[in-house]
Amino acid sequence: MTHQRRPEGLLLDAMGTLIGLRRSVGSTYAGFAAEHGVIVEAKAINAVFPRLFRAAPPLAFPGLEGDALLEAEQAWWIELITGSLKACGHEEPLPPALGPALFEHFATAEPWQVYADVAEHLQRWRSAGLKLAVVSNFDQRLHRLLEHLELSPLLDAVVVSSQVGAAKPDPLPFQRALQLLDVPAEAAWHIGDSPEDEAGAKAAGVHCVLIQRQQPAGTPGGEVA
């Protein structure tokens, strides 16, 4: 961890860095599907979900806000959910309530855990005078989720790809976070867990530190819903 300047701000990835899933993607999807009369194996979903997630278009919607943005976010995830179940052999249209139910579930604290070392690190960094921002390839639900997980009071800003209109490895989310923190790129570090974190930080002129967490099966780079 070498850098020429002590950081004034830290830009932090969310899923897979600060928080992670308690159960696999497949377990949750299969459980909700069964409640809506759709039978699919969790193992099968875990096998296809990472590939479909990585192949999906960026979770970013330039120019949208308000209800239009929320609709676009939900539609993005429902398409991914539909594709995952179809790839597991379910050819029929999904029950209308299944996608929205899963979308809402992942906005709650129940499926998530805060990694054991996170609160201590955030508090120590704040005490040292560092400014802290989350930069995530996620949607507006992250604001509510971080509140539920009691991390919001420890953060100065939260930037999500859907709202800023670009997703990592695009440098725009990093640049927006730097603006919100009022910190120059050369005075910031990014902590993340994926190649997109590293490439996006480099494009924004930000030093990057990659970490690796143990995550449930079917989790691609920690970003799911």
pLDDT tens string 72-85: 999 999 999 999 99
pLDDT for residue 3 is more than 60 = no
DSSP 135: E
Give the Cα separation of 85 and 94 in Å (integer). Answer: 9
Exposed, middle or buried, 91 (CB in 10 Å: 0-12/13-18/19+)?
Answer: exposed
What domains can you pick out in the chain, each with its CATH number?
A: 9-21+111-210 (3.40.50.1000), 25-105 (1.10.150.720)
Give the Cα separation of 59 and 164 in Å (integer). Answer: 10
pLDDT for residue 1 is more than 60 = no
Strand locations in 88-187, DSSP E?
112-114, 131-136, 157-160
pLDDT tens string 13-64: 999 999 999 999 999 999 999 999 999 999 999 999 999 999 999 999 999 9
**Residues facing residue 188 across a β-bridge:** 9
Give the Cα separation of 159 and 182 in Å (integer). Answer: 14
